[in-house]
Structure 1
Amino acid sequence: MIRHIVFFTATSENLEDVRAGLSMLTANPHASLLEIGTNVKTDQWDREVDFVVYGEFENEAALAAYKAHPIYHKSTETVRPLREMRIAADYDSDKAVKTPLR
């Protein structure tokens, strides 16, 4: 299983539009699970991320199909000009470290 995690920030005036644009992704049929979360972490130092996209995909082919889907492109076209930062990571859950190495 491939896990896809993307972090976004946006200015306060664009937060709802970015959230709405990201929400389009939930209609993409290639994800086994797809969630758009609002960061709830706040502390005295920072709140560096506004939104998290979390997706689970059966394999690399499903993730590639997700990224090739018109819904993905529409979401990207909507969000890209409004967001400030985007950081993405994909990893294979079957190869992830799940127990102490030492």
Structure 2
Amino acid sequence: MIRHIVFFTVPDRADLDEVRAGLSILTENPHARLIEIGTNLKTDPLGSEVDFVVYGEFDDEAALAAYKAHPLYQASIDRVRPLREMRIAADYETERATRTPLQVS
């Protein structure tokens, strides 16, 4: 499984809703196993620059490539790119395909 994580900053606070709406387009892309759009809570005192996080899970590299080739991906880019400042992305492979709840004793 491939995990895809992207961080965004939005310099103009007035554009936050529009950027969130543009990122939300990604949730309709049929090639992702899971897509979440999150607003940073900004609770970390050492770094709160990031405004939004996109988290995605894909069966394999082919599914991730199909996601990026889908017209909804480009529609999101067209809407968000003019309004965002920073974009940092990372993809990594993992064996674990499901989330395991944290065990607290």
Q: TM above 0.5, one fold?
A: yes
Q: How does 1:13-92 map to 2 (within 5 A)?
A: 13-92=14-93
Count of residues in correspondence between the two structures: 95
Give the equivalent residue in structure 2 for 1:98: none
Query: How far, CA to CA, are the matches of 1:75 and 1:38 in structure 2?
Result: 16
Task: Note the alpha carbon deviations across 1:30-81, whole angstroms, 9 max, x for none.
Answer: 0000000000132445411100000000000000000000000000010000
The whole-number CA distance in structure 2 between the counterparts of 1:61 and 1:44 is: 38
RMSD after superposition? 1.4
Gaps of 5+ in 1: 96-102
**1:94 to partner: Cα distance:** 2.5
Moved more, 34-43 or 54-63: 34-43
User: Corresponding residue for 1:7?
Assistant: 7
More strand as a share of residues: 1
- Give ranges in structure 2 of 5+ residues lacking alignment: 97-105
